[in-house]
Structure 1
Amino acid sequence: MGPHALARQAAESLKATLRDGVIAPGLSSHILEGPDGGKMFGVLVVRQRDGRLGVLRAFSAMLAGRWDVPGFVPPLFDREARARVEPVAETTVKALLARAQALGTSEELLRLRADDEARQANEATEREALRQRHEDRRRQRHARRAEVRAATTPTDPVRAEALHALDQESRGDKAEKRRWEEAQQEARRDLISRRAKAERRLEALDRLRSIVSRGFMKQIHDTYAITNARGETRPLRALYGGAEPPSGAGDCAGAKLLAHAFAHGLQPVALAEFWWGTPPDSGGRIRGAFYPACRDKCRPLLPFMLEGLEVSAPRLFVPPPSPMLALSIVFEDEWLVVIDKPCGLLSVPGRDAALADSVLTRLRARHPRSTGPLLVHRLDLDTSGLILAALDARTHASLQRQFLHRFVEKRYVAIIDGLVRGESGPITLPLRVDLNDRPRQIVDPLHGKPAVTDWKVLHREAGRTRVALYPRTGRTHQLRAHAAHPQGLGAPILGDRLYGHADSRLFLHAEILSFEHPVTGRRMSFTSAAPF
């Protein structure tokens, strides 16, 4: 898995230059370590007209505010056409943004917001005071009704008169609350109306800026003409099925490299893209790691550009032959099975026939008459260690409830490909799938699902750290993503081909599993020593 050997060699050469602190003469690679973060770089091995091989280099979008950097291919838009659009667009959008900012911070709007917030706070205080006063009166009336009933008979006219008076007091409280609500509504009407009017002006200005920005973006997209290996050319916007291309379409390293090769009669041979510098806030990028082309920008673009070339089939990850991987049964009774899964064996079968072998497949062959087996949880293909299965549906449901309510204790051991700072702590980074690069997970505070991992350093040696990991939630790739993220452990697990760099294996092992037996009620704990 990974780029072609020629592309990898070309990429390693560029990485060595970046590692030495140089992007181009007068431009240091240290700019990739700042708050703006790192960047995707690409290399394209090409065959020149005389048959010799050469290498083109590119970066995504702009670098240090520049489209053109010596030693890297230029952008693929029409410079003259863009020069006619971009200055006007920038000036117009900046002016609208300045107007919106001025209105959003105007004395009038700030005063209206402050007055409205103060009114709301005062209204809430008065409402609570009124509610408490009425509640006190209600309790008093309740006690007085009890006293009247105790001191009089049902036919006593004194009782009827006293209870009627108490009912009148209750109606009086309701009338008081109604008058108060009406007074508040009258008081808020003018202020809310004036604030809403000012807010609508701000929203209208924001909408106008958005409309104008989209209009200019269409004009900018029209400065891109995309050519393929056959020499056919199409406008950028024609390649996105009627939808507007996403921001940055046509500016990725791969598209730049192919466009430059076609324009100069060079034959593309091998392409690779990698990340260099500070990872993005979402994580999912490691310095020097190779990544495929993004889906939203490049998926509609690159297939057209590659038309006319003989393109190799995708270099997909193929797991090692699994029949040679032994499945160790740690514990087994008539209700459940605890297995020690080897690295490289799937938990459940894949869709492809070549991926039919798995823990579940083998358990079903072992228990052909059982209503199960059913896996209670899973481990990644690359992760080894303890995994739990139930032999019937009732046991499965009971064990799943224990996982849901976090009664199950799990401990993993991992080797981190770097020195972890600190000795222990929690990682609370919400995760979701990277829509541009499934199944990789990224951190997303807004749309991500809560994910919590506790960790503890066990040992440090030779630039690596052995840690214990305690997942409190069970998100996909949680331990791997939490380890690699800068706000997590700050370095990937050794051998992580998705979040770091491939090695002989992924050094992640589920070593302790503890749960309550769903039938006997006995607490059970199992340990599997890490094979590394």
Structure 2
Amino acid sequence: MTVTSANHTNKLVYFEPTVNTLPQALEYPHFYTPIPLAQQAAEHLQERLRNQLPFLTKEAKGRMLGVLVVQAKDGKLGYIAAYSGELQPPLEKLPFVPPVHQLPKGKDFPEMASINAISAALKTLLDSAEYANAQEQLQKVTTEVALAIKTAKLAAKQAKKDRDKKRKAAALLPDSEQSVLLEELNRQGAIAGMDLRRFTRSQNQRLEKAKQEAQYFDEKVKQLKALRKAKSAALQDAIFAEFVFTNALGETKDVKSVFLDVGVEVPPAGAGECAAPKLFQYAFKNNLKPLALAEFWWGASPNSEIRVHGNYYPACKGKCKPILAHMLKGTPVKPNPLLTNFGADKTLEILFEDENLVVVNKPSGMLSVPGKHIKDSVKSRIQDRYPKATGPLIVHRLDQDTSGVMVVALTKEAHKALQLQFLERTIRKTYMALLEKAILATEGKIELPLILDINNRPMQKVSYEYGKSALTYFKVVQKTSSKTLIKLHPITGRSHQLRVHCAHKLGLQAPILGDNLYGTPASRLCLHAQQITFKHPTTQKEMVIDTEVPFTINT
């Protein structure tokens, strides 16, 4: 690529690409591999980052950056660049495009100052000795009153028992004496009842007074919180109204409206601050025609998501998908490749079958169960082949891109028995995987808790705080200087467990070859469920079923 001009005023860097044909449509932004044209622009930006902003790779946390190749009105080609997140002055040495909306800060942000003042007043109140004393006194009085009333009731109960004994003993007395004694006992009982009620009332009045004193402060706290909430909501709505996105048709829509269109009332934090929306906003506002997008991670990998320095990643879904759905109206975009049924022309091989269950060899690209847009799946094909089958059928699943052994129940009873084996983790599964690089370890275990990445469904991430435990044992089978053939034994069955455990920096740090979510896309994901061992649900005989691995280390 030959760079002919760098214009810092309008952020556009002109260049002469080495490709001759321009794309007719943008790649689908949430699942794609950057085309050579976009990669050339990205590589030029990366070279400038290395030369002019070398400190970025030394920071504790990396960031997502992006380039958008565009065509100006005069036909010249160039690219614009952006980084995700708020404005960062140290990065402005390079001509990055501006934010969609720059949030004011400090003295230029009086609304926030007002909210901060309320928060300060609230903190002062909560930290005050008066508030603490009122709370302590309430707690003390509550305990003392409860104990006093309980003690008084126990005493009254014992006194009643004593009077009842005397009543029984009165039966042995002459009638005249008996009458006098019973009358006296009744009088004592009435007086005791009134005394208990008076005492209980006085204690409750004491408690109510303590409550009122504490409530005075609680009401002030409640009022300050309500005022802060109202001001925060008003400020948030005002910010949302300023966060306006433009598209090629000249249509504008604020961020709240964009997310309301997809049923989300409050946009997620940071919506609109990713690289992609910034790039398209600048392009449309400056009459630049978008041609190709590329986003890449630069710097240290995070401890949660899988992000590798220099690797390309699609635009996120949670924050960017609703925004880009609006922004790309009027711009040619290729269809979502995930809506293609990659298993349509593939055969579902039967490895074992009887009246209770069937074991299949699922090909890569076929869904385990019907999806929202694609109905063809292992389940639908089993239903067609075994129309008399009962129950849920599917006992466990494989990712669409994963091939290999799957057990399907044909009766409700078989499903229940097999499902119990999975829950008790008595079923043993063996996977074969081809990693995209050589690893040093020969065998071991990986324990990384996993949780759904809500901004990038269906991707998973590591979270020691909120994630579910996930354990995988591994053993290297064969290794070259550039690849590793590995055997994997998952003990748990978390979504994407093997893919994340292989790719994550705290795992093997070696993505599975062809992993289009956590590594580098290829013709297929080289992950295969090679063997499964379980007890037959009826005969209780141990079943060991395996299949050939459809790839080798030379793949």
Same fold (TM over 0.5): yes
Matches of residues 286-301 of structure 1 in structure 2 within 5 Å? 287=309, 288-296=311-319, 299=322, 301=323
Query: Counterparts in 2 of 1:138-287, with a 5 A limit?
Result: 197-233=216-252, 239=258, 241=260, 245-278=267-300, 283=305, 285=307, 287=309
Q: Match for residue 29 of structure 1?
A: 56
Which residue in the other structure is 1:71 paired with?
A: 95
Q: For residue 45 of structure 1, report the CA deviation from its aligned partner.
A: 0.9
- Structure 1 pair 488–108 and aligned structure 2 pair: CA distance change class (3 A): farther
Tell me the percent identity. Answer: 33
SS of 1:520's partner is coil
Residues 519 and 241 (structure 1 numbering): CA distance in 2 closer, same or farther, change over 3 Å?
Answer: closer
- Residues 346-385 of structure 1: pairs in structure 2 closer than 5 A: 346-350=367-371, 356=376, 358-364=377-383, 366-367=385-386, 370-371=389-390, 374-385=393-404
The partner residue of 1:458 within 475, 492, 496 is 475
Tell me if 1:524 matches 2:543.
yes
Instruction: Answer whether contact 1:377 1:387 (CA < 8 A) is retained.
Output: yes
Amino acid at match of 1:292: A
CA shift, 1:268, in A, is 1.5
Q: Deviations over 1:104-160 (max 9, x none)?
A: 444555666678889999999x99xx9xxxxxxxxxxxxxxxxxxxxxxxxxx9xxx
Partner of 2:69: 45
8 Å Cα contact 2:70/2:289 also seen in 1: yes
TM-score by length of 1: 0.71
Task: Give CA deviations for 1:11-60 in whole Å, capped at 9, x if unaligned.
Answer: 64167438x745xx3562236x42xx333322111012331211111112
Distance in 1 (CA, whole Å) between partners of 2:78 and 2:423 is: 56
Mapped contact 2:532–2:546 kept (Cα < 8 A): yes
Q: Distance in 1 between matches of 2:307 and 2:145?
A: 50
Whether the 8 Å CA contact 2:431–2:529 is kept in 1: the answer is yes
1:496 shift after superposition = 1.9
Q: Please state whether the residue corresponding to 1:374 is helix, strand or coil.
A: coil
SS in 1 for 2:470: strand
Q: Which moved more, 1:457-466 or 1:378-387?
A: 457-466
Q: In structure 1, how many angstroms separate the alpha carbons of the residues matched to 2:125 and 2:202?
A: 31
Aligned CA distance change for structure 1 residues 515 and 230 (closer, same or farther; 3 Å)? closer
Partner of 2:534: 515
Amino acid aligned to 1:505: R
Query: Does the C-alpha gap of structure 1 residues 14 and 458 become closer, same or farther in structure 2, counting only changes over 3 Å?
Result: farther
Counterpart-to-counterpart distance in 1, 2:385 and 2:253: 58
TM-aligned CA distance change 1:463 to 1:335, over 3 Å:
same
The 2-side partners of 1:411 and 1:118 are apart by 62
1:142 alignment counterpart:
none
Give the match for residue 500 of structure 1.
519
Partner amino acid for 2:286? H
Counterpart of 1:62, as a letter, is E
Q: Is the 8 A contact 2:449 2:464 kept in 1?
A: no
CA distance 1:104–1:415, change in 2 (3 Å): farther
Name the counterpart of 2:162: none
Number of corresponding residues: 475
Given candidates 397, 418, 440, the residue that maps to 2:459 is: 440
Root-mean-square deviation (CA, aligned residues, Å) is: 4.8
Which residue does 2:444 correspond to in 1? 423
If you compute each CA radius of gyration, which structure gives the higher value, 1 or 2?
Answer: 2
Structure 2, gaps ≥5 residues long: 1-30, 152-171, 173-192
Equivalent residue, structure 2, for 1:386: 405
The CA distance in 2 between the partners of 1:123 and 1:506, in whole Å, is 69
Structure 1 counterpart of 2:522, one-letter code: D
Q: Which amino acid is the alignment partner of residue 71 of structure 2?
A: R
Cα 1:367–1:40 change in 2 (3 A) is same
Deviations 1:197-249 (A, max 9, x none): 54554454344333323333333344445433244555555555595655434
- Within 2, Cα distance between the matches of 1:199 and 1:65? 43
* Contact residue 343 and residue 381 of structure 1 kept, 8 A: yes
Does the CA contact (< 8 Å) of 1:245 and 1:297 recur in 2? Answer: no
SS at match of 1:452: coil
CA drift at 1:416: 5.2
Structure 1: how far apart are the matches of 2:462 and 2:202? Answer: 48
Deviation at 1:324, TM superposition (A): 5.0
CA contact (8 A) 2:53 2:91 kept: no
3-state SS, counterpart of residue 545 of structure 2: strand
Unaligned segments of structure 1, at least 5 residues: 131-156, 158-174
